C-alpha cells in the first residue's frame, strides 16, 4: 500500500512539474502572440489600406489563444475608443462565424468599446441569415419580407437592433430608405435602429466602419446646420444629433480646420437652435456623448466639456456623458452626477440616468437598481420614480428661466 501511495505521489509531482514547465513556456509565447497581433493591428491604421481586411488575421491570432471577451479587454486597454470599436466589429464577425448563432456569440462577447463585438455579430448574422455571406450583399434587391424576417428577430433586443441599423445604412447609403426599414422591422426598439443608421454614417466618413463602404460623401460644411434638424421625426433627429459631433468635426478637419475650431463650430451650431427646442437639447447631448469615453478614465475632463454658460445645455450634455453602457457603469455614472455643481443639475442627471437605465434589460430584471445606483443618497433615489419622463422635456421645463 505504501509503495502504491509513494508511486502515486511521485506521478502527481511529475505531472505538476510537467504542467508548470508547459505553462511557463506557453505564457511567453502567448505574450509574444498578443504583442505581435496588437502591433499588426496598429500598423493597419497607419497604412492606406482596407482596415477591416488588414486587421482580420491579427484578430484571428488573438482568438486562437483568448476568448472573445478577453480579446475585447485587451483591445480596450491598447486602443482609443474609436479604433477599439472598429476592431471589436471584427472580433464580433469572427465570433459569429465560430458559433453560427447570435445568442451563443453574444454570450461570448462583453460590452467593451461601446458594444463593438455585438455590432460585429449582428452585421455578420444579417448577411449570413439572409443566405448571402458576401459582405457586399445588396439588401436593396431583397424583398421587405426577407429583411423583416431577419431584422425583426434581431430587433427584439436594443443592442442587436442598433447593429441592424448599421447594416441597413451600409447597404442603402442613404438615411431615408434605411430609416424606413427601421420603422418596418422594429417597434419599441426603432430608436436603436435609427442610432445604428446615423452611427454608421459617422463611422464611414471617419473611416472607422465595420466594412469598406464606397459611394458615401461627406456633407457640405454649409449643410451641417440642417443635417440633423431637418430629419422628419423627433426620434430621427435625436439619433442623428447623438453622432453629430463626430460628423461635424471629421468633415471640418477634412477641410483643413483645426480640432479646436471645429469643436467651436459644433458648439455654435448647437447654440443656434432655439432655447428649449429638442434640436438644441439633443445637439448638446451629442457633445456629451462625444466625450463619454472619459467617464471612467477622466470624469473631471468630461464634466469640463459640458460646462457651457447655459444650464440647460449643461444638463443635456450630461445625458450624453453617462449614456454609454450605463448599466455596466453604475458607480462612475452616479459619481459623475453627484459631482455636478448645483442641485438642479444633479437631479436632472439622476433622472436622466434612470430614464436610460429603464431602457435596458437590467432595469426589468433587477428591482434594486435605484439603490445600487444611488447608495444612500435619498435625493438620487427620489428621482427613480420619474424614470419614464422625457429627460429633454424635463430639462427644457426645469431650466427655462436660466
pLDDT tens, position by position, 309-343: 999 999 999 999 999 878 888 999 999 999 999 99
What Rg, from alpha-carbon coordinates, does the chain have? Answer: 24
Mean pLDDT lowest among 22-31, 40-49, 69-78, 134-143:
134-143
What is the arithmetic mean of pLDDT over 95-106?
Answer: 81
What does pLDDT average to over the chain? 85
Neighbours of 32 (CB within 10 A): 10
- Tell me 388's DSSP state: T
User: CA-CA-CA-CA torsion for 68, 71, 72, 75, nearest 10 degrees?
Assistant: -160
The beta-strand segments (E) located in 105-218 are none
The beta-strand segments (E) located in 157-197 are none
Place of cell 432595469: 363
Neighbours of 189 (CB within 10 A): 23
User: Regarding predicted confidence, which is higher, 253 or 106?
Assistant: 253
Query: How much is the pLDDT for 139?
Result: 47
For 305, residues 6+ apart whose C-beta sits below 8 A from its C-beta are: 287, 288, 290, 291, 294, 317, 321
51, three cell numbers: 482596415
Identify the band that residue 108 occupies on the pLDDT scale cut at 50, 70 and 90.
confident
For 197, residues 6+ apart whose C-beta sits below 8 A from its C-beta are: 165, 166, 168, 169, 175, 178, 179, 182, 239
Q: Which helix (H) or strand (E) holds 137?
A: none
Query: How much is the pLDDT for 131?
Result: 58
- Tell me 297's DSSP state: T
User: Regarding predicted confidence, which is higher, 28 or 182?
Assistant: 182
Q: How far, in Å, CA of 202 to CA of 384, rounded? A: 33
Identify the band that residue 136 occupies on the pLDDT scale cut at 50, 70 and 90.
very low
Nearest to 36 by CA among 60, 53, 52: 60
Residues of 324-341 as b/e, b for ≥16 C-beta within 10 angstroms?
bbbbebbebbbebbeebe
Q: How far, in Å, CA of 305 to CA of 295, rounded? A: 11
| High-pLDDT (> 90) share of the chain, % | 50
Amino acid at each position: 500500500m505504501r509503495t502504491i501511495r509513494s508511486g502515486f505521489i511521485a506521478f502527481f509531482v511529475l505531472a505538476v512539474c510537467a504542467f508548470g514547465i508547459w505553462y511557463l513556456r506557453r505564457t511567453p509565447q502567448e505574450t509574444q502572440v498578443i504583442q505581435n497581433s496588437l502591433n499588426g493591428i496598429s500598423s493597419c491604421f497607419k497604412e492606406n489600406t482596407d482596415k477591416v481586411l488588414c486587421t482580420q488575421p491579427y484578430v484571428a491570432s488573438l482568438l486562437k489563444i483568448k476568448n472573445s471577451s478577453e480579446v475585447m479587454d485587451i483591445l480596450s486597454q491598447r486602443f482609443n475608443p474609436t479604433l477599439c470599436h472598429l476592431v471589436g466589429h471584427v472580433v464580433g464577425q469572427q465570433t459569429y462565424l465560430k458559433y453560427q448563432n447570435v445568442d451563443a456569440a453574444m454570450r461570448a462577447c462583453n460590452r467593451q468599446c461601446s458594444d463593438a463585438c455585438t455590432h460585429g455579430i449582428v452585421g455578420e448574422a444579417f448577411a449570413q441569415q439572409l443566405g448571402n455571406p458576401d459582405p457586399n450583399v445588396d439588401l436593396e434587391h431583397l424583398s421587405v419580407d426577407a429583411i423583416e424576417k431577419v431584422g425583426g428577430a434581431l430587433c427584439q433586443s436594443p443592442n442587436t437592433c442598433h447593429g441592424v441599423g448599421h447594416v441597413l445604412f451600409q447597404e442603402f447609403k442613404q438615411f431615408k430608405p434605411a430609416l424606413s426599414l427601421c420603422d418596418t422591422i422594429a417597434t419599441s426598439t426603432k430608436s436603436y435602429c435609427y442610432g445604428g443608421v446615423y452611427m454608421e454614417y459617422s463611422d464611414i466618413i471617419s473611416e472607422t466602419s465595420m466594412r469598406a463602404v464606397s459611394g458615401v460623401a461627406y456633407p457640405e460644411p454649409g449643410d451641417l446646420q440642417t443635417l440633423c434638424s431637418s430629419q422628419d421625426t423627433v426620434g430621427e433627429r435625436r439619433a442623428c444629433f447623438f453622432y453629430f459631433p463626430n460628423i461635424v468635426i471629421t468633415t471640418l478637419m477634412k477641410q483643413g480646420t483645426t480640432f479646436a475650431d471645429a469643436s467651436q463650430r459644433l458648439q455654435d451650431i448647437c447654440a443656434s437652435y432655439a432655447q428649449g427646442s429638442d434640436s438644441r437639447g439633443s445637439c448638446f447631448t451629442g457633445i456629451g456623448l462625444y466625450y463619454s469615453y472619459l467617464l471612467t478614465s477622466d470624469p473631471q475632463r468630461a464634466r469640463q466639456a459640458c460646462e457651457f454658460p447655459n444650464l440647460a445645455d449643461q444638463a443635456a450634455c450630461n445625458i450624453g456623458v453617462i449614456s454609454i453602457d450605463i448599466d455596466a457603469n453604475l458607480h462612475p455614472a452616479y459619481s459623475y452626477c453627484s459631482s455636478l455643481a448645483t442641485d438642479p443639475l444633479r437631479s436632472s442627471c439622476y433622472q436622466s440616468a434612470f430614464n436610460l437605465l429603464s431602457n435596458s434589460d437590467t432595469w426589468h430584471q433587477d428591482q434594486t437598481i435605484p439603490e445600487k445606483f444611488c447608495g444612500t443618497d435619498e435625493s438620487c433615489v427620489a428621482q427613480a420614480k420619474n424614470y419614464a419622463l422625457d429627460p429633454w422635456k424635463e430639462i427644457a421645463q426645469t431650466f427655462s428661466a436660466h
